[in-house]
Structure 1
Amino acid sequence: MHKRLLQLAVDPANRPAFDVRSVQVYPSPNENFINSSFLDSSMTEDAQSSLNYSNRQGNHPPPTFGSSPNLEAFAIQACKYGVEDRDSALNMTPCFSRPMHEITFATIDKPKLLSELTCFLADVGLNIQEAHAFSSVDGFSLDAFVIDGWPYEETEELKRALEKEILSFKEQCWSEKQPSPALGKHNQNRVESFPCCVEIPTDGTDVWEIDTRQLKFENKVGSGSYGDLYRGTYCSQEVAIKVLRPERLSEEMVKEFSQEVYIMRKVRHKNVVQFIGACTKPPNLCIVTEFMSRGSLYDFLHKQRGVFNLPSLLKVAINISRGMNYLHQNNIIHRDLKTANLLMDENMVVKVADFGVARVQTQSGVMTAETGTYRWMAPEVIEHKPYDHKVDVFSFGIALWELLTGDIPYSSMTPLQAAVGVVQKRLRPTIPKNAHPVVAELLERCWRQDPTERPNFSEILEILKQIAEQVKNNGENQRKKDKISSVFFSAFKREHH
C-alpha cells in the first residue's frame, strides 16, 4: 500500500495520494511492535501490518506502525496537565476497544507539511492520536495518522469526505507549483542553474569573502542534511568549515545559506559563535567560524554522558541567555535553538551557533513558517501561526530541562508525536521533583502556551544570576559550617585523649 501511494504521488495531479483503513489498537503490555525507524523495511510487506491480528479479539488490524507504548506515554504526560477532553489521551485506554482509522498520505516533502496535514485532518473533524512521518531519499514524504472522531467503522464515507476537503484545500496546501524531486538527468544540472555568486546584502563596510587559498581542510567532524562540517585552519587560525554538498543544492538551501551569512557577519558577542568568513561562489559554498573544541551540549549530554552540577548548569544557562539576549536586542530570532546548536569551547564557555533558519524580525513583530526541530519547537511554530522572538524562549526552556535531566525531550515518542502532543494536549516534559524551585518555576514560564506569558531573555538572565548567587552563598555557608564542625570535632578528640 505504501509503495502504491508513493508511486501515485509521483504525478502532481495525484498529490496528496492517500488511503484510509479501519484499525484497532490493543493495550496488551506484551505487544511486539514494528520498528518504524526505517521506511524501506516498513514498506516491504503490507502483511507486516496485520501482526497476526486474526488471533486476537477485534475485527480490524492494528496500526501499521503500532506503538501503544508511545500512546501510553502520551496519556501519562497529558494526565499531568489535567487534560479532560473526551477524546484526550486520558481516555485512550477505554477507547482502544473501539475501532479507529489510519490515514496515510504520500506527497512531496516540503516545509510546513506537518501543519498542513494536521490542520487538514482537524478541519474534517478528526482527532490525531498517533502519527509517524518518513522522508524518502528522492524527496517524498509518507505520513501515517491514527485518528478517532469519525463516527462510522466503514471507510468509504470517510474517503469521500477527505476527497471533498482535498479539492478545496489542495490549491493552498499542495500547489502544483512545488518543484518535483530532482531525478536522474535533472539532478546533473542543478548546480549549473545557480548564479556565479550568491548575493549577500552588504553595506560596504565589511569584508567576509574567504580566500580559499588560505583555507586548509583537516578532518571531518560531522555531517548533516546540508552537507559536512570540517575542522581546519584559515590563515593559521583553527576554524570550523561548514560545506554545502553541491549535489544537494537547491534554491531553498542557497537562500538559507545567504540568510546565515547575512546574519552571522553582523553579530559580535562572546556567547555567539564567531563568524570568520564565507565562500559564496557555487558550487563551493561554505561558512567558516571559530572552532569550538568541546563540541555541542547535545553530544556532551547524550553521547559523552556528561552531567552538570547546579552551579555549572547555571553558568551554561547564563551563557546561553546572554547570547540569546544579544540576538533578540538586534531583532534576530534564532528559530532552531536546541542543545545541538549550543557549542562549548576549551574553557567550557557556551555559545549559540547555527543560524541557517534564523531570521531578522520584521517591523510588524510577527512571522510565520514552520521551522526548527519538533522536540524543541514552540506550539505556535508547529501550528504555523504568527510568532515572534518568544519562540526562542520556549526552546530555551526545553533545552534547560534537558541540561537539568540529561534526557532527550519526549524520548518515548517520535518527534512528530511530540509535536502533536505539544499542540493538541499541551504536553510538556516532567520537571524533576528535586529541581531548584526557582528553576522549576522558570521552566514552566518559558514553555507556557501563550507566548506573551513567557519571559524575555533579559528577565531570564537576571533570574539565573540571582539563583547562581544564592547557590554560591549557600555553598560558602555550608563550607564554613563544615569547617567549624571539623575544628570542633578535632578539639573534642584532643580533650578525650
Structure 2
Amino acid sequence: MASGRKRTKGDVCEAFLGRLAERGDVELDAVLLEGIRQHFDSLPTRYALDVNVDGLDVLSHKRLLDEARADPTTVSFAVRPVEIVAQRAESALLHELPRANSRKLGLCRPAFGSSPNLQALALEVGERAEGQEAEATAVGSSRSADDHAVFYEITIASVDQPKLLSRLSEALGDLGLNIREAHAFNTNDGFSLDVFVVDQWQPQQLARLRFVCLSSKHQPSCRCAPQQRHARVCSGGGAAGPRPESPAVDDWEIDITQLHIEAKIASGAFSNLYKGTYCGQEVAVKILKDVHDDSSQYQEFLQEVSIMRKVRHKNVVQFIGACTRKPNLCIVFEYMSGGSVYDYIRREGPLKLSAILKLAADVARGMDYLHQRKIIHRDLKAANLLMDENAIVKIADFGVARVIESSGCMTAETGTYRWMAPEVIEHKPYDEKADVFSFGIILWELLTCKAGGAVPYSDMTPLQAAVGVVQKGLRPGIPLNCPLPLAELMEACWAGNPVQRPSFRELAPRLQALFTMALEEEKRQETKPVATKQGLLSKLRGK
C-alpha cells in the first residue's frame, strides 16, 4: 500500500484476504471471497479500519449478519472470552493480562482493539493479580492465577431498529454485566452489528442473554454462533464466581438456566410461542416481546401468571412455571403435541359426530371448572384450544382472562370479534355467559370443519360481523348435517340475552350424554349390513 495514501475498505479487505491465504486453514473459494468483499462493502469505513484482520473476527461477523439476513426475525449472537493487552508506562513491551488465563485458554484479542480506559482497567487487574501471586508464593499458599478476571466479548447481529444500541445496553445491564466498551455498526441494507466488551460474565447468564434476544421487539428468535458454544466451556470454570442471587419469590418461579428453547411454534402481536425443555421435560414457552413495567401487556402477563398458577384440571393446559424477572418474561406450560383444535379440524376434515361431541365435552368440562373458580376466559375459540397426544382437549391462552369481581360483571371489549358476545361488543356489563356465546361459535366450527377450514362470517370483515351480531342478530348458519339436539344446544349458547344461555355446568353433562349416544350408535352402525344401516343424524332428527 502506498505511503501517504489513506486506506480504503478495499485495501483492508484485500489485506485480510491475504492473511487468510497465508494461514492456510480457511478454504477460500470464489463464493467466500465474494462474500467477504460484500461484507466489507456493506459496513462503514471505520469498521474496516478498526477491525482486527489478524484473526477470524471478520468471518464471525459475516456469519452472524448472514444468519440475521436469512431470517430478519432472528437475532444472532456470540460470546467469547478475550484478553486485553495493556502497555506498561515503564516499558515499551506489551503486557498480556491476565497471564495465566490467557495461557491456559489461548484467548483471542478483542475484535476492535481496546480503548485506553479498558487497557488501564486490564493493567490494574493484572497488577493486583501479580501482587496476590507474590503474596501467595511468600506464604506458601496454593492460590492460583486462574482466579484472575477475564473479559468477554458479546457480538449481536440483527435488523437495525430505533434506539437499538441503547436497548441492548440497558438489557445487558439488567443481566448484571458491566459494559467496558461498545462498538456499533450499521450495514447499508438495514442490519446492525453491535460488539460489547464486558466483565463479570457467568455461564448462567448465557440462557438469560438468549432471552434478551428472544424477547426483543421484532426479534422473536435467536441463533447462536459457534463461539457461543465455545463460551460455554471456556467461561464455565471456577473463576466464574458465585451465581447471582435470584429474586424468585415463589416455587413456581423457574430457574432460567434449566430452560432450553428448541423451535418456534407460533407468533403473536405481543408474544411468541416456542417448544423447549425444562429440567428435561418437553414444554411450551410463551415469551413476551418488549414489555415495560407500566405497559398493559406487562400487567396482562402478570394476570395470566396469577390465573394459570391457580388452576389444575384435566381440560386446562397445565402451568409449570414462569419467569417474572426482566428481561426474561415467559410462561412455561405443558407441551401439547396435538397442536390446536383449529389446526386439527382443518387437517382432519369432516369429523364423526362422536368426535365432535367428545371435543366439545372436553371444552365444556374445562370451562365449567374455570367458571366455578370465577375465571372468565374472554377469548374462547378453536385456536385457543390445544390437544395432547391422546386427543384430549385443554383450554389455553389466558392472556386476557380475568377473575370475576364481586360485582359479577365487566365492560371491557376483549376477545376476537367473530367469537365475541354482543354484550361484549357493545361494552355492556357482561359475565361468564360471554364465554358460553363463544362456545356456541366453537360448536359451529367443529361441525363445519373441512380442508381449508370454515371461519364464522367468512364473507365479512371482523368489524362487519360484529355490527351484524349486535344490530341484526346475525349468527352462523346451522349446518344441514347438524342433529336437532345439537342444533338446539348451539342456538341456546348464542342467544342474544345472556340469561337465556345455559351454563357450562348444564352443558357438560348434556354433551357427554350426546357423545355416549353417538358413540353407541356409530358402533351399532358398523356391525349392521350396509342395506339396513340408518344414519344417526336421521335418528336424532326423528326421521
CA contact (8 A) 1:221 1:231 kept: yes
Report Cα offsets for 1:164-185 as digits up to 9, x if no partner.
xxxxxxxxxxxxxxxxxxx955
Report Cα offsets for 1:458-482 as digits up to 9, x if no partner.
1111111121122233234434543
- Residue in 2 that maps onto 1:322: 365
Kindly indicate whether residue 412 of structure 2 is the aligned counterpart of residue 376 of structure 1.
no
Pair 395,484 (structure 1): closer, same or farther in 2 beyond 3 Å? closer
Kindly indicate whether residue 468 of structure 2 is the aligned counterpart of residue 421 of structure 1.
yes
- Which of 1 and 2 has greater Rg? 2
Pair 473,294 (structure 1): closer, same or farther in 2 beyond 3 Å? closer
- Residue in 1 that maps onto 2:481: 434
- Residue in 2 that maps onto 1:348: 391
Q: How far 1:217 moved relative to its partner? A: 0.7
Q: How far 1:363 moved relative to its partner? A: 1.1
Pair 187,379 (structure 1): closer, same or farther in 2 beyond 3 Å? farther
Normalization by structure 2: what TM-score? 0.51
Q: 2:501 aligns with which of 423, 436, 454?
A: 454
Kindly indicate whether residue 457 of structure 2 is the aligned counterpart of residue 410 of structure 1.
yes
Separation in 2, partners of 1:444, 1:205: 47
Report Cα offsets for 1:330-355 as digits up to 9, x if no partner.
00000000011000111111100000
Q: 1:243 aligns with which of 246, 268, 287?
A: 287
CA contact (8 A) 1:311 1:472 kept: yes
Separation in 1, partners of 2:530, 2:386: 38
Question: Which residue type is aligned with residue 446 of structure 1?
Answer: C
CA contact (8 A) 2:260 2:277 kept: yes
CA contact (8 A) 1:191 1:247 kept: no
Pair 427,192 (structure 1): closer, same or farther in 2 beyond 3 Å? farther
Report Cα offsets for 1:90-137 as digits up to 9, x if no partner.
xxxxxxxxxxxxxxxxxxxxxxxxxxxxxxxxxxxxxxxxxxxxxxxx
Q: CA RMSD in A?
A: 2.9
- Residue in 1 that maps onto 2:437: 394
Report Cα offsets for 1:189-215 as digits up to 9, x if no partner.
69969xx89xxxxxx996210101110
Q: How far 1:483 moved relative to its partner? A: 9.3
Pair 308,477 (structure 1): closer, same or farther in 2 beyond 3 Å? closer
Separation in 1, partners of 2:316, 2:250: 18
CA contact (8 A) 1:390 1:451 kept: yes
Kindly indicate whether residue 354 of structure 2 is the aligned counterpart of residue 311 of structure 1.
yes
Pair 386,205 (structure 1): closer, same or farther in 2 beyond 3 Å? same
Pair 300,485 (structure 1): closer, same or farther in 2 beyond 3 Å? closer
CA contact (8 A) 2:379 2:400 kept: yes
SS in 2 for 1:220: strand
- Residue in 2 that maps onto 1:335: 378
Report Cα offsets for 1:425-464 as digits up to 9, x if no partner.
1110000122011110011000011000000001111111
CA contact (8 A) 1:210 1:279 kept: yes
Pair 430,246 (structure 1): closer, same or farther in 2 beyond 3 Å? same
SS in 2 for 1:281: coil
SS in 1 for 2:329: strand
Report Cα offsets for 1:139-188 as digits up to 9, x if no partner.
xxxxxxxxxxxxxxxxxxxxxxxxxxxxxxxxxxxxxxxxxxxx955996
Q: How far 1:275 moved relative to its partner? A: 0.3
Question: Which residue type is aligned with residue 257 of structure 1?
Answer: F
**Larger RCO (CA within 8 A; separation ≥ 6):** 1
Q: How far 1:262 moved relative to its partner? A: 0.1
Separation in 1, partners of 2:165, 2:268: 20
Separation in 2, partners of 1:235, 1:409: 41
Pair 426,188 (structure 1): closer, same or farther in 2 beyond 3 Å? farther
Q: How far 1:246 moved relative to its partner? A: 2.3
Question: Which residue type is aligned with residue 209 of structure 1?
Answer: E
Give the count of matched residue pairs.
296
Kindly indicate whether residue 330 of structure 2 is the aligned counterpart of residue 283 of structure 1.
no
CA contact (8 A) 2:359 2:393 kept: yes
Correspondence list, 1:97-496, <5 A = 207-246=251-290, 251-302=295-346, 304=347, 306-406=349-449, 407-482=454-529
Where in structure 2 are there 5+ consecutive unaligned residues? 1-160, 176-247, 534-543
Question: Which residue type is aligned with residue 358 of structure 1?
Answer: A
Pair 247,362 (structure 1): closer, same or farther in 2 beyond 3 Å? closer
Question: Which residue type is aligned with residue 254 of structure 2?
Answer: I
Aligned residues: percent identity?
A: 58
SS in 2 for 1:246: coil
Separation in 1, partners of 2:300, 2:291: 16
Question: Which residue type is aligned with residue 364 of structure 2?
Answer: S
